[in-house]
């Protein structure tokens, strides 16, 4: 949802700004723009399209100046056009502004400012902020911006520069993410850490309602009343290289391939051979984990699918009644939080607006919040009572892949931890379950090494227009996730369904052109039922692609194509079954000539509601 970066330095900044904004392109790619100040004059270049295309057209690095900002847009208010691309200026071309978020009272403010003679050149909600600052400008850009912010309703992360104070970069946030990076005689702002990782690892996380003044020598932070705020400088341990493609054609493929490492790193030292060591991370929030009566998982998209699998794990092993809610729906009901209820928020970015709103609602009602988050310092991480970080490293591809399996890993560890606390898992079973998860990275590696068969299957199907994904039990959410991956990166229409529900409607869609992907891993629970569902599809001429266990001869006779995965315990099959589906979606996207890293209309983290 829009990426912003800004730099104030003693050297020319345009090429560094370009480098930084490219790392944020996953946040939006409808248009891109850059502004610098040189000799007291603002110079702006912007246009619609991806950064690479626009860069060729406008040559951003020709911009001169030691202070500047850049913005990649995911359109909310105002269509995708050059006039709506950021940065936006005031009437006199003295103030320039980049923004991520939504100004909800922009219509009223615009009418008020127009009456005072302000002339607007875009259809965005953002432009009002530049005019509001201009209208009240006192010569002190920090102070005037602070006062302007007090008039805004909605969400914002902003960067402001002004020709009258051309050594100051102003930054502020409310509900939209923004970090400050501290460099050597230069300082930065960015929507997300990967943008500035090559330049610094020293980060200040700006909180809601804070405003900062950056010069090349120092950073000062204030609250919206103007009081100074003392901030902690955090050191980020991600390497800059981790946020690069490292020879892979796309981030999506790189991140799919990184899953063995992401899972091993997420396990880290949270496990010994015989025990799960989560006390330190959980106990301060939930001193009496054994007494938990109910869990509510809140999440969106792929993280919500991880939550559905979590529900299965938590109910089966830890015997805690668990509900999984779309974060966006949870907050608009009147959720009942009874004593002993804890909320688990699952989010890669930690900045998804709906998930943030859901945890705030839960906390207001007295629930403790445990979050499972990938990005350190993110809003969800900071606002939760306890945080379990997935150590998947930066996930840049818009389609979530490695974050998903890392989330499943942590939910699994949490489940065993809670089951043990509740006296439900005898020691030998804990040791067995630990052995099972330890096998997963190697087993995923095995699937990755055989990805040619998945690529060949994509070659057969990339011209199709529809697909159905079916799964049962713990693999039903994998059907949802497989369909979501295909939809988002290849624009094929795909539906995920519980296999048995198919006959209550979707069966009407099946004909000899419909590929039906069925997760049919052999177990003693639903396998025979899934075979019946497969027979129902075949009877209507459907083409069946099965995700099955290696060595399953029975299935080979019943379906058209088989993608094999290694065997592990039933409860861990989702971590394996999802891999061929991620790869299938990736290859279909590439074969269709699409860019899987930047699907149209999507943005990596959805920071608006």
**Least Cβ distance, residue 396 to ligand M6R (angstroms):** 12
**Least Cβ distance, residue 155 to ligand M6R (angstroms):** 16
Please tell me the distance from the alpha carbon of residue 170 to that of residue 149, in angstroms, as a whole number: 12
On whether the CB atoms of residues 243 and 394 are closer than 8 A, the answer is: yes
* 600 C-beta neighbours (distance < 10 Å), count: 10
Look at the alpha carbons of 607, 251, 324, 268 in this order and tell me if their dihedral is positive or negative. negative
Catalytic site residues? Answer: 2, 604
**Least Cβ distance, residue 16 to ligand M6R (angstroms):** 27
Contact region with ligand M6R (CB under 6 A), list: 147-155, 158-166, 208-216, 395-403: 395-403
**Least Cβ distance, residue 347 to ligand M6R (angstroms):** 3
Please tell me the distance from the alpha carbon of residue 461 to that of residue 454, in angstroms, as a whole number: 11
533-562 residues in contact with ligand M6R (CB under 6 A) are none
Token reading at 326: 């779309």
On whether the CB atoms of residues 605 and 352 are closer than 8 A, the answer is: yes
> Which of 89, 90, 488, 597: binder of ligand M6R (CB under 6 A)?
488
Does residue 606 interact with ligand M6R by CB under 6 A?
yes
Contact region with ligand M6R (CB under 6 A), list: 244-252, 392-400, 414-422, 445-453: 392-400
SS3 64: coil
Query: Among residues 378 and 521, whose Cβ is nearest to ligand M6R?
Result: 378
Burial letters for 395-434: b for 16+ Cβ neighbours within 10 Å, e otherwise? bbbbbbbbbbbbbbbbbbbbbbbbbbbbeebeeeebeebb
Query: Among residues 300 and 534, whose Cβ is nearest to ligand M6R?
Result: 300
Does residue 3 interact with ligand M6R by CB under 6 A?
no
Q: Which helix (H) or strand (E) holds 217?
A: none
Contact region with ligand M6R (CB under 6 A), list: 97-105, 271-279, 398-406, 429-437: 398-406
9-to-19, 143, 168, 311 alpha-carbon distances in Å: 15, 22, 10, 50
Binding mask 400-419 for ligand M6R (x = CB under 6 A): x-------------------
Contact region with ligand M6R (CB under 6 A), list: 219-227, 394-402, 433-441, 518-526: 394-402
Q: How many residues bind ligand M6R (CB under 6 A)?
A: 16
Contact region with ligand M6R (CB under 6 A), list: 87-95, 170-178, 266-274, 599-607: 599-607
* 561 C-beta neighbours (distance < 10 Å), count: 17
Binding mask 342-371 for ligand M6R (x = CB under 6 A): -----xxx--x--x----------------
Q: How far apart are the first and last CA of the chain?
A: 11
E runs forming strands in 348-451 = 368-373, 386-389
512-to-409, 516, 543 alpha-carbon distances in Å: 38, 10, 6
Residues 6+ apart with CB under 8 A from 134: 90, 91, 92, 94, 95, 118
Query: Among residues 178 and 549, whose Cβ is nearest to ligand M6R?
Result: 178
Please tell me the distance from the alpha carbon of residue 43 to that of residue 364, in angstroms, as a whole number: 46
Token reading at 457: 């299957």
**Least Cβ distance, residue 596 to ligand M6R (angstroms):** 11
Query: Among residues 567 and 597, whose Cβ is nearest to ligand M6R?
Result: 597
Binding mask 264-303 for ligand M6R (x = CB under 6 A): ------------------------------------xxxx
Binding mask 302-321 for ligand M6R (x = CB under 6 A): xx------------------
**Least Cβ distance, residue 564 to ligand M6R (angstroms):** 24
Largest CA distance in the chain: 79
Q: Please, what is the Cα angle at 113 between 112 and 119, to 5 degrees?
A: 140
* 541 C-beta neighbours (distance < 10 Å), count: 11
Query: Among residues 44 and 349, whose Cβ is nearest to ligand M6R?
Result: 349
User: Per residue, what are the HEC states of 151-182?
Assistant: CCCEEEEEEEEECCEEEEEEEEEEECCCEEEE
Does residue 76 interact with ligand M6R by CB under 6 A?
no
Query: Among residues 8 and 357, whose Cβ is nearest to ligand M6R?
Result: 357
**Least Cβ distance, residue 413 to ligand M6R (angstroms):** 18
Query: Among residues 156 and 304, whose Cβ is nearest to ligand M6R?
Result: 304
Q: Which residue is nearest to ligand M6R (CB)?
A: 301
**Least Cβ distance, residue 303 to ligand M6R (angstroms):** 4
> Which of 31, 66, 155, 605: binder of ligand M6R (CB under 6 A)?
605
From the list 372, 347, 364, 352, the residue with the least C-alpha distance to 282 is: 372
Query: Among residues 17 and 296, whose Cβ is nearest to ligand M6R?
Result: 296
**Least Cβ distance, residue 190 to ligand M6R (angstroms):** 17
Binding site for ligand M6R (CB under 6 A): 300-303, 347-349, 352, 355, 398-400, 488, 602, 605-606
């Amino acid at each position: 949802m829009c990426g912003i970066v800004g730099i104030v330095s003693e050297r020319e900044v345009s090429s560094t700004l370009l480098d930084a904004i490219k790392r944020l392109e996953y946040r939006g790619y409808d248009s891109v723009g850059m502004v610098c100040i040189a000799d007291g004059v603002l110079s702006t270049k912007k246009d619609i399209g991806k950064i690479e295309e626009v860069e060729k057209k406008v040559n951003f690095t020709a911009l001169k100046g030691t202070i500047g900002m850049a913005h990649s847009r995911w359109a909310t208010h105002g269509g995708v056009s050059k006039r709506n691309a950021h940065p936006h200026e005031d009437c006199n071309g003295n103030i320039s502004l980049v923004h991520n978020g939504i100004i909800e009272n922009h219509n009223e403010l615009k009418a008020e400012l127009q009456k005072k003679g302000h002339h607007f050149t875009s259809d965005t909600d953002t432009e009002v902020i530049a005019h509001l600052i201009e209208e009240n400008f006192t010569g002190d850009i920090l102070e005037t911006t602070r006062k302007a912010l007090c008039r805004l309703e909605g969400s914002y992360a902003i960067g402001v520069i002004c020709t009258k104070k051309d050594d100051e970069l102003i930054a502020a946030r409310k509900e939209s993410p923004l970090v400050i990076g501290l460099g050597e005689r230069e300082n930065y702002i960015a929507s997300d850490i990967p943008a500035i990782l090559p330049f610094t690892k020293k980060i200040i996380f700006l909180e809601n309602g804070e405003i900062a003044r950056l010069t090349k020598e120092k950073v000062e932070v204030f609250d919206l009343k103007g009081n100074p705020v003392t901030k902690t400088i955090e050191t980020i341990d991600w390497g800059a290289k981790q946020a690069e493609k490292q020879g892979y054609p796309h981030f999506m493929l790189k991140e799919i391939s990184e899953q063995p490492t992401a899972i091993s790193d997420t396990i880290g030292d949270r496990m010994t051979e015989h025990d799960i060591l989560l006390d330190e991370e959980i106990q301060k929030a939930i001193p009496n984990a054994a007494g938990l009566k109910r869990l509510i998982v809140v999440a969106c998209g792929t993280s919500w699918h991880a939550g559905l699998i979590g529900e299965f794990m938590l109910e089966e092993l830890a015997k805690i009644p668990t509900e999984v809610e779309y974060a966006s729906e949870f907050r608009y009901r009147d959720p009942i939080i009874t004593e002993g209820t804890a909320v688990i928020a699952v989010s890669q970015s930690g900045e998804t607006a709906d998930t943030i709103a859901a945890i705030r609602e839960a906390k207001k009602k007295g629930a403790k919040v445990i979050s499972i988050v990938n990005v350190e310092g993110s809003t969800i991480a900071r606002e939760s009572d306890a945080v379990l970080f997935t150590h998947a490293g930066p996930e840049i591809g818009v389609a979530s892949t490695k974050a998903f399996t890392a989330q499943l890993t942590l939910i699994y560890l949490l489940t065993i931890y809670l089951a043990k606390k509740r006296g439900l898992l005898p020691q030998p079973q804990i040791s067995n379950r630990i052995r099972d998860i330890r096998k997963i990275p190697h087993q995923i590696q095995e699937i990755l090494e055989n990805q040619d068969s998945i690529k060949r299957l994509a070659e057969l199907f990339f011209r199709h227009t529809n697909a159905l994904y079916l799964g049962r039990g713990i693999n039903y959410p994998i059907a949802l996730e497989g369909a979501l991956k295909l939809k988002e990166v290849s624009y094929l229409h795909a539906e995920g369904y519980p296999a048995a529900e198919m006959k209550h409607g979707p069966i009407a869609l099946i004909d000899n052109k419909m590929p039906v992907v069925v997760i049919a891993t052999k177990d003693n629970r639903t396998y025979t039922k899934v075979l019946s569902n497969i027979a129902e599809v075949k009877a209507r001429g459907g083409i069946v692609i099965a995700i099955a266990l290696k060595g399953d001869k029975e299935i080979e006779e019943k379906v058209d194509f088989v993608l094999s995965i290694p065997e592990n315990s039933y409860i861990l099959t989702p971590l394996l079954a999802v891999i061929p589906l991620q790869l299938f979606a990736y290859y279909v996207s590439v074969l269709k000539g699409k860019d899987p890293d930047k699907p149209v209309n999507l943005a990596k983290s959805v920071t608006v509601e």
